[in-house]
Amino acid sequence: MAQFICAIDQGTTGTTIIILDDELRVRARVTEEFEQIFPKPSWVEHDPEAIWASTQSTLARAKQEAGISAEDIAAVGITNQRETAVVWDRNTGEPIHNAIVWQDRRTRGRIQQLVDDGYEPMVRSRTGLILDPYFAGTKVEWMLQNVDGARRRADAGELAFGTIDSYLVWKLTGGDVHVTDVSNASRTLFMDLEEVRWDDELLEIFRVPRSMLPEIVGNSEVYGEVRGVEGLADGTPICGMAGDQQAALFGQVCFTPGEAKCTYGTGAFLLMNTGDKPVMSQHRLLSTAAWQIDGEMTYALEGSAFIAGAMVQWLRDGLGLISEASEIEALAETVDTSDGVVAVPSLSGLGAPHWDPGARGVIWGLTRGTTKAHIARAALEGIALQNVDILKAMEQDLGESLKVLRVDGGACANDLLMQMQSDFLSRTIVRPEMTDTTALGAALLAGLAVGIFDDLDQIRATWREDRRFESAMGEEAREVHLKRWKQGIARV
């Protein structure tokens, strides 16, 4: 009899539930979007209760679509937008404020103060991260400082903090379990990366009481059991969990040091497995926890571009150049080149390796002959070119060249974008059959915990390739693009 795994993929713009059988065939896939809240320029929030409502409704619909009973689901895995911070009341479960999303830049001033006070070298050596509003630390601090009564309640032990994984486990277990996995914990600015524990000195710097924090757990183990959730049977184990990018690295079976993937979602995220020791970057990349299984740690180097698919959404919603995101490829293919137009998609600041939180997006090189097709093509080029900066920095840190980059996420279905990525990187791009690798990673971790999968070798044997993209661009043409990209970066 088939066993089924439910993967909850809680993303930035919506919640997706995927139900897979024990041969990793997708039996149901249901997505529900929720409201993006922008209270002020550069502020981004989500209503945690809207996230939970979307999770509940997609769970019920996915079970129905799969044509199975709730009792047929043997395990639940969770993957999530990582640095988004939620603070809630331990007794009522009610959030004290909207979740502050990873894209939010409201704490730039506080970050600059910490940099000016000389904290960045210590924070970097302890956590593998740099000081940036991207991470959860200053978001939690902001809520404690700005929500009436929050600091008093936190000091009294009445409040709980978590990234979205913690919040979902809390809700799924009826408030019984407050945990976070190592991959999410490593994105808070609170965790000692080598010791894999909360660091009291860091908590003091960010003025966050330890009592608010969840227990740090591994990525493939039973955390608790479902209680009172429609679509899932009481007692179903919640047993796999990882932040979205680490889940994608696992779902792309990048189990060996040097293997890497890029996920194209709201942003673009390059991760490379670095083995059982963290590699501290000399090029402002992040060192992060990849996963912990049976007590054994695996680490990764990461470079993040904050805007990728969101650039296409902005062309649709902000400029009205297209009516559907899927139209971008056909529009860009109506011209052979971008005719000198450069689009730098730094709509939420620049991520690695530049780390400029105040950067603004740029469309440069416009002429009277520029059309919306040129802008569409330049936007896709910009999404691909920002990854060149990240990969070059990654290769320099490791001292070796990457030969193959595995890709996933919604935008990897865009063949033109994938060809551009191969051309600008001069590397082979490999796309898997299943591109929902964040959900796949969560499902694999959950299945591993309850014995549906025996080991990593069995998981690797299930991975299937869809298509390869080989670079077709000459070195001279590539250098022209890279030169103009650098000129565009200088203008942000």
Closest CA to 141 of 214, 197, 87: 87
pLDDT above 70 as % of the chain: 100
CA distance 85 to 483: 38
Confidence of residue 141 (pLDDT cuts 50, 70, 90): very high
Q: What is the DSSP-derived secondary structure letter of residue 285?
A: P
Mean pLDDT for the stretch of residues 245-265: 91
Please state which of the ranges 114-118, 209-213, 431-435 shows the lowest mean pLDDT.
431-435
Please tell me whether residue 48 adopts helix, strand or coil conformation: helix
pLDDT at 357: 75
Q: Cβ neighbours of residue 346 under 8 Å, at least 6 residues apart? A: 306, 307, 356, 359, 360, 361, 362, 492
Q: Give the tokens for residue 442.
A: 């969560």
Residue type, 311: M
145-196 per-position pLDDT tens digit? 999 999 999 999 999 999 999 999 999 999 999 999 999 999 999 999 999 9
Under 8 Å between Cβ of 180 and 163:
yes
Residue with tokens 């070119």: 385
Mean pLDDT for the stretch of residues 243-254: 94
Confidence of residue 256 (pLDDT cuts 50, 70, 90): confident
Neighbours of 371 (CB within 10 A): 14
Give alpha helix (H) positions in 239-308: 244-251
438-448 per-position pLDDT tens digit? 999 999 999 99
Q: Mean pLDDT over all residues of the chain?
A: 92
Under 8 Å between Cβ of 281 and 392:
no
Confidence of residue 491 (pLDDT cuts 50, 70, 90): confident
Q: What is the DSSP-derived secondary structure letter of residue 105?
A: -
Confidence of residue 306 (pLDDT cuts 50, 70, 90): confident
Mean pLDDT for the stretch of residues 50-62: 93
Q: Cβ neighbours of residue 21 under 8 Å, at least 6 residues apart? A: 2, 3, 4, 5, 27
pLDDT at 281: 86
CA distance 7 to 19: 6
Under 8 Å between Cβ of 48 and 88:
yes
Under 8 Å between Cβ of 37 and 44:
yes
pLDDT at 2: 60
Give alpha helix (H) positions in 148-228: 150-155, 164-172, 182-185, 200-205
Q: Are strands 99-100 and 45-46 parallel, antiparallel or unpaired?
A: antiparallel
Secondary element (H or E) of residue 305? strand 296-305
Residue with tokens 């409040």: 159
Mean pLDDT for the stretch of residues 406-421: 92
pLDDT at 259: 87
Residue type, 396: Q
Mean pLDDT for the stretch of residues 460-474: 91
354-405 per-position pLDDT tens digit? 878 788 999 999 999 999 999 999 999 999 999 999 988 888 888 777 778 9
pLDDT of 14 over the 60 cut: yes
280 or 159, higher pLDDT: 159
Neighbours of 337 (CB within 10 A): 12
Domains of the chain: 4-244 (3.30.420.40)
Confidence of residue 22 (pLDDT cuts 50, 70, 90): confident
Residue with tokens 């009516």: 323
Strands lying side by side in the sheet with 85-89: 45-46, 99-100, 85-89, 159-163
pLDDT at 258: 83
